[in-house]
């Protein structure tokens, strides 16, 4: 897969391929063993100080995997700055003592570790939140109180106290969260800082909080302590910081004692996606390069860097001194040792889906990973050697089958994996055809390699039968035979204009100019993206920035300009029967991106539809008008794509039962409703872990 000019197509295969990435960084008082930073992730294990042992194991696993510098999830220096009631804080000596196992675990494995100090400001999800001004965030129901001048100084002191506690806990330094629209960022931008005292108004006043925090911390902790400041390069909101102010801030922070700049892109309330899978790899490295040239301390590039080829290219060009990645270490804790050992093709790549990490975090669940369900559950799901290796047949090489087969083989079982198609991936092989989901191909690449490495015997193009399984001498049979698209019981469903999403995406059929899509779940929305795009903007940084209105920050403040999406080549109507807003069931952190993309492409949305029939005139429906009255309508289309969910494929089950062979159902073959690859892979790995 060639993702853009930054990313060479073929993975590197020898250990010398990433010399810049593997080069140590001497900071004078501490040497980082390489240029790889594991960026801060709030996993949920930080909160309430109950799961710090799990958290220590989580970091130890990544440190063992070779990461140079780890940044913890965010800990607030004050109660008001907590993300939500009961969220993580670093305010007391007993907190520092509780962190000891974490720092010891990271150091024992050779990594340096920083505590992130995160004051949420107006993003705090509780009624006692505070900010520069009393202005509510569009993504939070709570309106913050504006801090009085004396309270601002108290908060600065609280940051310094937390940093001192971090030092007592054994941390090598702190990262100050100054980006993503949190508290410090709220003082920096005119959008949220409308104060008239010495903390607002001029740019110098607005940046004073950030500078005083760094000064106060440096005074508390002395010179031999890392102060990493996460600076917002592009706010991507109206009235964000002008670029000249960002550079002046960087200079002032450097003078105040910053050791490293980490970089952040976009506030949480920005309506431009910054980390989801449809954002091109390395989309914001050009802005990071401008900061790197401006300051004298090391700078870390971040956002949508997930594979070593790109990370190495960024460093080799001198665009940054370090590369910060977060989610890629959920997907693969061994990312660094694999890259360093010339085994990049073995990396389990983060596909930036957010399904098991950020979507979990924002719904109060522990962060994990769709492609690696062991992430965050290191002590719970363990793939130990099987006491008695068994012969196992796995039917179907979709996500469920691939994950089950490789996890079983890793434990020493003897596995035969059968797939009717001539390729791996199941429905995932269709998902990766969607513009903006090209990353999904990496998961298929990963499992292809994993199958080779674990010694799974793969039988492609083999439609396995009951007889094959009954006579194969297997101890266990796993049916991971997945799902088939639901066929609707609707007059005219056999009209030549009707096709399933599988027929469309596999290339077996082509859509015309006017298309109706029946079913507005994840697949219906994806099909609309497929129908309304020409090419793959997510593989082209310039094209993608034009689509979303991201500009060179030297021009509009905050880097935000008018989006100019390419027109859709088709007229598309997306329908569902429910009266609820279309796309409501999509991911918490990704749904809005899909809804915005459909709006930009002019997709017509119809909810509350009743389907009557299909004929040469088109799709006959009844729909609710704005007043809630039923209106009959014919949607004149030349293509109808059915995306009305799936049904489990279990055609072998009855025959196996009759033959006395018991079978384990995994993934879509088990339950089709609300199935996604997260559940399929998780179920497979957990089952394999206990066999």
| Size, binding site for ligand FAD by CB under 6 A | 38
In Å, how far are 95, 334, 376 from 50, measured between CA atoms? 11, 26, 14
Residue 399 near which of ligand NAP, ligand SF4, ligand FAD, none (CB within 5-8 Å, type-dependent): ligand FAD
Instruction: Check: CB of residue 245 under 8 Å from CB of residue 207.
Output: yes
Residue 373 near which of ligand SF4, ligand NAP, ligand FAD, none (CB within 5-8 Å, type-dependent): none
676 belongs to the binding site for ligand FAD (CB under 6 A): yes
3-state DSSP: the chain helix, strand, coil percent, rounded to 5?
35, 20, 50
322 belongs to the binding site for ligand NAP (CB under 6 A): no
**What sign does the dihedral 529-641-420-414 (CA atoms) show?**
positive
| Secondary element (H or E) of residue 391 | strand 391-395
DSSP classification of residue 44? S
Q: Alpha-carbon distance 477 to 665, whole Å? A: 9
DSSP classification of residue 617? T
Q: Alpha-carbon distance 639 to 620, whole Å? A: 13
Residues in the chain: 691
Q: Is 182 a catalytic residue?
A: yes
Comparing CA positions, the residue from 248, 208, 214, 206 lying closest to residue 230 is: 214
Which residue in the set 519, 559, 583, 618 belongs to the binding site for ligand NAP (CB under 6 A)?
Answer: 519
Residue 524 near which of ligand FAD, ligand NAP, ligand SF4, none (CB within 5-8 Å, type-dependent): ligand NAP
> And the tokens for 689?
């872990």
Which residue in the set 167, 488, 603, 666 belongs to the binding site for ligand NAP (CB under 6 A)?
Answer: 488
203 belongs to the binding site for ligand FAD (CB under 6 A): no
Residue 464 near which of ligand FAD, ligand NAP, ligand SF4, none (CB within 5-8 Å, type-dependent): ligand FAD
Residue 202: CB minimum distance to ligand SF4, A: 40
691 belongs to the binding site for ligand FAD (CB under 6 A): no
Q: Alpha-carbon distance 262 to 156, whole Å? A: 20
- State which residue, 314 or 444, has the beta carbon closest to ligand NAP: 444
Q: Which of residues 641-670 bind ligand NAP (CB under 6 A)?
A: 643-646
Burial code (b: 16+ CB inside 10 Å, e: under 16) for 587-618 equals: bebbbbbbbbbbebbebebbbbbebbebeeeb
The catalytically annotated residue of 59, 171, 182, 418 is 182
Q: Alpha-carbon distance 599 to 276, whole Å? A: 18
Comparing CA positions, the residue from 91, 77, 153 lying closest to residue 121 is: 77
Residue nearest to ligand NAP (CB): 521
Residue 320 near which of ligand SF4, ligand FAD, ligand NAP, none (CB within 5-8 Å, type-dependent): none
- State which residue, 376 or 668, has the beta carbon closest to ligand SF4: 376
Residue 262 near which of ligand SF4, ligand NAP, ligand FAD, none (CB within 5-8 Å, type-dependent): none
Q: Alpha-carbon distance 192 to 239, whole Å? A: 8
Comparing CA positions, the residue from 243, 172, 239, 253 lying closest to residue 209 is: 253
Q: Which of residues 545-564 bind ligand FAD (CB under 6 A)?
A: none
Comparing CA positions, the residue from 496, 415, 410, 503 lying closest to residue 456 is: 415
| Size, binding site for ligand NAP by CB under 6 A | 24
Residue 481 near which of ligand SF4, ligand NAP, ligand FAD, none (CB within 5-8 Å, type-dependent): ligand FAD
Residue 413: CB minimum distance to ligand NAP, A: 29
526 belongs to the binding site for ligand NAP (CB under 6 A): yes
- State which residue, 172 or 439, has the beta carbon closest to ligand NAP: 439
Which residue in the set 2, 13, 31, 463 belongs to the binding site for ligand FAD (CB under 6 A)?
Answer: 463
Q: Please name the residue ranges forming H helices in 269-307.
A: 285-294
Ramachandran class of 311: left when φ > 0, alpha when ψ lies in -120 to 50, beta otherwise? alpha
677 belongs to the binding site for ligand FAD (CB under 6 A): yes
| Secondary element (H or E) of residue 197 | none
Residue 371 near which of ligand SF4, ligand NAP, ligand FAD, none (CB within 5-8 Å, type-dependent): ligand SF4
Question: Looking at 127-135, 144-152, 438-446, 522-530, which segment touches ligand NAP (CB under 6 A)?
Answer: 522-530
- State which residue, 524 or 618, has the beta carbon closest to ligand NAP: 524
**Cα 509 → chain centroid:** 32
420 belongs to the binding site for ligand FAD (CB under 6 A): yes
- State which residue, 440 or 687, has the beta carbon closest to ligand NAP: 440
Interface residue list for ligand FAD (CB under 6 A): 353, 355, 395-401, 418-421, 426-428, 430-431, 434, 463-464, 480-483, 505, 522-523, 526, 649, 652, 667-668, 675-678, 680
Interface residue list for ligand NAP (CB under 6 A): 355, 488, 518-524, 526, 576-578, 585-587, 590, 643-646, 674-676
Catalytic residues: 182
């Amino acid at each position: 897969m060639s993702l853009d000019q930054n990313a060479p197509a073929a993975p590197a295969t020898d250990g010398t391929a990433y010399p810049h990435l593997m080069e140590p960084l001497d900071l004078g008082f501490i040497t980082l063993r390489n240029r790889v930073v594991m960026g801060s992730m709030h996993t949920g294990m930080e909160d309430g100080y109950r799961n710090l042992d799990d958290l220590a194991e989580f970091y130890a696993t990544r440190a063992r995997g070779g990461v140079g510098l780890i940044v913890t999830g965010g800990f607030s220096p004050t109660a008001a700055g907590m993300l939500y009631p009961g969220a993580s804080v670093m305010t007391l000596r007993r907190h520092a003592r509780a962190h000891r196992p974490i720092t010891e675990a990271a150091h024992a494995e050779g990594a340096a570790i920083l505590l992130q100090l995160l004051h949420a400001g107006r993003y705090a999800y509780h009624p006692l939140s505070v900010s520069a001004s009393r202005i509510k965030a569009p993504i939070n129901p709570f309106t913050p109180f504006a801090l009085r001048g004396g309270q601002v100084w108290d908060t600065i002191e609280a940051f310094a106290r937390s940093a001192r506690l971090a030092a007592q806990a054994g941390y090598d330094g702190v990262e100050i969260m100054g980006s993503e629209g949190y508290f410090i960022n709220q003082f920096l931008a005119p959008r949220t800082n409308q104060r008239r005292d010495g903390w607002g108004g001029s740019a110098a006043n607005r940046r004073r909080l950030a500078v005083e925090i760094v000064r106060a911390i440096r005074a508390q902790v002395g010179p031999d302590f890392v102060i990493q400041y996460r600076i917002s390069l592009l706010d991507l909101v109206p009235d964000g910081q002008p670029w000249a102010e960002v550079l002046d801030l960087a200079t002032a922070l450097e003078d105040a004692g910053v050791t490293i700049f980490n970089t952040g892109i976009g506030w949480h309330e920005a309506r431009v996606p910054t980390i989801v899978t449809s954002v091109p790899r390395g989309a914001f490295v050009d802005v990071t390069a401008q900061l790197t040239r401006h300051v004298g301390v090391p700078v870390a590039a971040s956002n949508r860097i997930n594979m070593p080829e790109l990370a190495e290219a960024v460093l080799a060009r001198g665009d940054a001194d370090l590369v910060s990645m977060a989610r890629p270490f959920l997907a693969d804790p061994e990312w660094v040792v694999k890259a360093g050992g010339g085994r990049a093709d073995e990396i389990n790549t983060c596909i930036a889906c957010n399904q098991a990490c950020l979507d979990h975090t924002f719904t109060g669940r522990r962060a994990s990973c769709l492609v690696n369900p062991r992430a965050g559950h290191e002590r719970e799901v363990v793939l130990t050697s099987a006491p008695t290796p068994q012969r196992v047949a796995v039917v179907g090489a979709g996500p469920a089958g691939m994950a089950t087969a490789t996890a079983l083989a890793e434990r020493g079982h003897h596995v035969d994996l059968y797939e009717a198609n001539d390729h791996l991936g199941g429905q995932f092989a269709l998902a990766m055809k969607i513009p903006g989901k090209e990353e999904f191909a990496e998961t298929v690449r990963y499992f292809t390699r994993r199958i080779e490495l674990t010694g799974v015997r793969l039988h492609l193009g083999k439609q396995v039968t009951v007889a094959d399984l009954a006579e194969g001498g297997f101890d266990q049979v796993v049916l991971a035979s997945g799902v088939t698209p639901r066929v609707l019981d609707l007059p005219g469903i056999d009209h030549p204009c009707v096709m399933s999403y599988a027929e469309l995406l596999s290339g077996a059929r082509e859509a015309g100019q006017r298309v109706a899509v029946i079913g507005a779940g994840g697949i219906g929305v994806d099909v609309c993206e497929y129908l309304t795009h020409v090419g793959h903007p997510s593989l082209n940084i310039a094209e993608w920035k034009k689509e979303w209105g991201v500009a060179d920050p030297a021009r509009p403040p905050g880097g935000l300009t008018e989006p100019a999406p390419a027109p859709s080549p088709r007229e598309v109507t997306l329908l569902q029967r429910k009266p609820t807003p279309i796309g409501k069931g999509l991911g918490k952190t990704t749904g809005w991106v899909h809804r915005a993309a459909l709006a930009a492409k002019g997709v017509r949305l119809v909810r509350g539809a009743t389907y009557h029939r299909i004929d040469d005139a088109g799709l006959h429906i009844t729909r609710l008008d704005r007043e809630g009255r039923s209106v009959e309508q014919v949607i004149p289309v030349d293509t109808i794509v059915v995306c009305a969910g799936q049904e489990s494929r279990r055609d072998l089950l009855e025959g196996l039962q009759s033959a006395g062979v018991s079978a384990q159902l995994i993934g879509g073959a088990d339950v089709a409703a609300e199935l996604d690859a997260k559940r399929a892979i998780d179920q497979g790995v957990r089952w394999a872990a206990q066999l």
